[in-house]
Structure formats: C-alpha cells, structure tokens
Homo-oligomer: A and B are copies of this chain.
Amino acid sequence: MEATPRGSWWGRVLFVDVGTGETREEALDWDAARDFIGGRGLGAYYLFKHLVPGTRPLSPQNMLIFAGGPMSGTSCPGSARAALATKSPQSGLYTFAITGGELGPALKRSGYDVIILTGRAEKPVYVEVGPNGATLRDASHLWGLDTQLTQELIKKERRGEELAITCIGQGGERLVPYACLINERRALGRGGPGAVMGSKNVKALAIKKDGPAAPLADPATYREAAREATAQCRANPFTSGPLKAYGTVSTVAVTVNGGIMPADNWQRMTTVEEGKNLFGDVLREKFLAKDVTSGDPCPSKCSKLTVVREGPYAGAATEGPEYETIYALGTGCGIFDLAPIIEADMMCDLYGIDTMSVGVTIAFAMECYEKGLLTMEDTGGIDLRFGNADAMVKLVRDAAFRQGFGEKIAMGCRELAAEIGRGSEVFAMHTKGVEVGGYDPRGAKGMALVFGCGPRGGCHHAGGYTVQLEFTTPEIDRFADSGKVPIVVMTRNRRAAAAD
C-alpha cells in the first residue's frame, strides 16, 4: 500500500492479529486525525470505530491501540508522548494511557501513525514493527521476566536494530487488572493495559526507532515555534522552578499544607509534621541521583532518578516516585518515609503494575484490617496496620505475582470490597472501578467532578485537573460548591489536547 505522508503523519494504520499472525494496513482516516487531534483522540476514535460492543476486556477481540499525535517525537518540548487506547479490565469501559519515554518518538519513526494489536497468540510473542510492517517473534524465554530485563534482552537479541520497547512485566502476564506497560522506565499506567497485553500473550511491542520521522508540513516554521515553546518553558516560573527542581513531588508541599493529601485511606489528611518528610527538598537532598526527562526533548527534566542510600531498603532505585505514587503507596497507607515508597515504586515498574491502584487497594485493605473486617488469618500473617511499610512492600510484590494475600490486593479495591462486603464498599476509594488520585475534593471541590465524571474512572487527569487552578488562582474559592464546571471543562479539554 502506498501512502503519502503529510503534516507529520505517515498516513498509515497497521493492524496486527497476534493470533493468526496476519497484518494489514489501511490509510489513515485524515478527517479523524484532524478532528480527534493527538494520539489520545486518535486512539479513542479507532477503538470506538473498530471494537465490537460487548467485547470483554481480556478477550482476544479487545484491541490495544498505540497512537501518536502530530507533535509526538518532534523538537517541541514535552512532545515525547504516546497514547494507548483499549477497553479496561478495571472499569469495563474505554480507557487510555499516556507515556513519555521512547514510545512516542519511535512511533513517529515507525512508518505508522497507529498500531493496533488484536487477537491472542498461542504462545508468548513480541511484536516488532518497522516501516515494512510487523513481525511476531518468540517470547517464550521472556515470559516471567521483569520489564527492565525484557527490554535488555530484546535489545541484545536484536543487536544491530535500534528498538524502542514497550512491555509488560509479571503483573501483566498474570492479568492483574491494573497491570501497566513500561517503556524505558515510563509507564502506560492506568486502567490495566498490561492485563490486556498479557491476555494476548504479547510480552512486548518493539518499534524500530532509527528511521526518519514523518515529515513536518513546514519544518522551518515548526522549528521556530518549538524554539519559542522551549524558551517559554525555560522562562516559566513553574516549569523552570519547582517542577524542574522537584518534579511532581513539588505538589506534596502544596496539598499537605492545603490539608488535602489523604492519609490512612482518606480517613484523615496528612499533617504537615508527617508530610514534610515527603517534600521535594527531602527527595532531592537524601534520594536524588539525577534529574532526567520524562522523554526528550524537555528543558524541565522533571523526572527524578532516586536511590535509597541506607537502611532496610538501601539500594532501591527508581525513576520517581511521582506525587500520586507518594500518595498511594505512602500517605494513603500511613507511610511517611520515602525509602519504602521508592522500593515499592521500583517493584511496580519492574513487575509492571500501577502504583496508584495497588497502593490505594493496600490502603483499603489496611482500613478493613483495622476495622476488623480482615484478620491476620485473612492476610496470611501480615499485620496490616497503617504505617507498616514492610507489609506494603511485601503486598506490592505479592499483588504483582498474585500470590498469598496479594491475590486479594490484585483484585483492585472495588472488587475486593465487593467480596468483603459489610459496609467496606463505602471506603473503597475508586470511581468506575479505578482507584482515585490523591486530592481530597473537600479542599478542592472541582476534583469531585474530575474524579466522578472522568472518562477513565478515578483519575486526576482525564476528567480535568482543577486542583492546580483552585490553589493558584486568587479568584477561585477552592472550597466553593459551585462555579467549578467551567474549570473542569477547561482543564479537561486542555488535558485532552496536551494528552498528559
């Protein structure tokens, strides 16, 4: 099939049935590419166009749709983004996930704008995509490996090829409903795309990244605009200030001081005394190894490579933790120490499960335990009190591997609450089956609409992100019960366009 690239698009969509091995191409729907701008929109378009209603998320008929936007992988700062659309095993609904890392730039160099995986392979495979289409390769020996080793081995085995690899860990293999995909150390995190990939017996998508990028319509003008955007990033007091220094961890001080960072599964808020151990300056002083980008190019380098230098978690290293991880695996579980959070974050990335969902579910189980709805017999001998960092770390691993009491944690909090019953449903912190982000709407009322109406469930992104404006705009009363809708709509649209 011939296609004429134009305006940063290749004009080609690749379908790969991993069950039959058949691939086919079709021309990009140019109208859709214009109307549903960005990888997130385009992914949604193709999912709604092709997915048969009623498809079960873990059935072969579900689709994993990888899509970039027109700016993905260009010289614009923050453009290294890619989106994935699928039907979520957590919510049973449409969902999407977004990542930095190499995936976006690689997509732009793959020769395709959209890559759609369907079917179920009989034995584990990985899918290698280049400008000439897709090849299924045996991944039997990769099954059981973590996300870093998987990337390393594929790169070694395919020496000579420059590949960007997006893969699942043991969590996705075991169909943990909130399993994620990892590329480099970045996650396509929420809603369980890792379980969908695992259900297809696909270990990884490997994309050739050294080809030319889809040509821009007007390279000179674009380059100028990108340069201007970079200059604005450098001049902006947030992206060149707290974001650059502390990444999203800069938010901890804001929400703790504002009294909206949940503790003990939302039974109370984190106090300043507790929260200050988690502030960005502590992360920098005690744990930072290096400022890195979430994906090149970006002048902010908001991602923080951290390492634990002493104590029982000494040696743990991760890219992160981000704000939501500190909330979910930390304060939500009554843990106010970055070391075990870094250890657990590392494990989530290695084994490929979502830090937020596993953390919130552990916090939920802790509340059940403290209320006597779970006993030490249920937990297999784990004293599941709030603040028990060793228990949290152990359960992260056991959830990823679906073993012991981790099998229960792997259900996610909605399903676990349904099993436990006895009123526990009211403190299972999710919407649409997806565990919520770390902002108490009582102190930023817009977030109630964000969590309640967001398209992918309890997400602080997809439904908008009002808390930032509610805290920084003098005209907005964060405690007000009304007037939030325009802010929700505005931030929601902005997030949809910027796809973060």
Q: Whole-angstrom distance between the alpha carbons of A164 and B351 in the complex?
A: 28
Q: A144 to nearest B CB, angstroms?
A: 5
Q: Which of A391-414 contact B (CB under 8 A)?
A: 394, 397-398, 400-401, 403
Q: Whole-angstrom distance between the alpha carbons of A397 and B307 in the complex?
A: 14
Contact between B397 and A314 (Cβ–Cβ < 8 Å)?
A: yes
Assuming the A-B contacts A146-B315, A350-B315, are A290 and B141 also in contact, with contact meaning beta carbons closer than 8 angstroms in the complex? yes
Contact between B351 and A315 (Cβ–Cβ < 8 Å)?
A: yes
Provide the residues of chain B in CB contact with A317, threshold 8 Å: 145-146, 149
Does chain B have a CB within 8 A of A52? Answer: no
Contact between A145 and B289 (Cβ–Cβ < 8 Å)?
A: yes
Contact between B403 and A314 (Cβ–Cβ < 8 Å)?
A: yes
Q: Which of A254-296 contact B (CB under 8 A)?
A: 289-290
Provide the residues of chain B in CB contact with A347, threshold 8 Å: 315
Query: What is the total number of residues of chain A having a CB less than 8 Å from a CB of chain B?
Result: 28
Q: Which of A134-178 contact B (CB under 8 A)?
A: 141-142, 144-146, 149, 153, 170
Contact string, A341-365, partner B, CB cutoff 8 A, digits 1/0?
0000001001100000000000000
Contact between A397 and B149 (Cβ–Cβ < 8 Å)?
A: no
Q: Whole-angstrom distance between the alpha carbons of A398 and B310 in the complex?
A: 9
Contact between B170 and A401 (Cβ–Cβ < 8 Å)?
A: no
> Which positions in A face B, CB cutoff 8 Å?
141-142, 144-146, 149, 153, 170, 289-290, 305, 307, 309-312, 314-315, 317, 347, 350-351, 394, 397-398, 400-401, 403
Q: Whole-angstrom distance between the alpha carbons of A309 and B169 in the complex?
A: 12
Question: CB-nearest residue of chain B relative to A288?
Answer: B141
Question: CB-nearest residue of chain B relative to A290?
Answer: B141
Q: Whole-angstrom distance between the alpha carbons of A252 and B309 in the complex?
A: 36
Provide the residues of chain B in CB contact with A289, threshold 8 Å: 141-142, 144-145, 149, 153
Question: CB-nearest residue of chain B relative to A318?
Answer: B149
Question: CB-nearest residue of chain B relative to A169?
Answer: B315
Contact between A315 and B141 (Cβ–Cβ < 8 Å)?
A: no
Shortest 8 CB-CB contacts between residues of A and residues of B: A314-B401, A141-B290, A144-B309, A144-B307, A149-B317, A315-B351, A145-B289, A145-B307
Q: Whole-angstrom distance between the alpha carbons of A313 and B65 in the complex?
A: 34
Q: Whole-angstrom distance between the alpha carbons of A305 and B350 in the complex?
A: 16
Question: CB-nearest residue of chain B relative to A311?
Answer: B403
Complex partner residue of A310 from B146, B149, B314, B403, CB under 8 angstroms = B403
Contact between A314 and B141 (Cβ–Cβ < 8 Å)?
A: no
Provide the residues of chain B in CB contact with A400, threshold 8 Å: 314-315
Q: Whole-angstrom distance between the alpha carbons of A125 and B173 in the complex?
A: 41
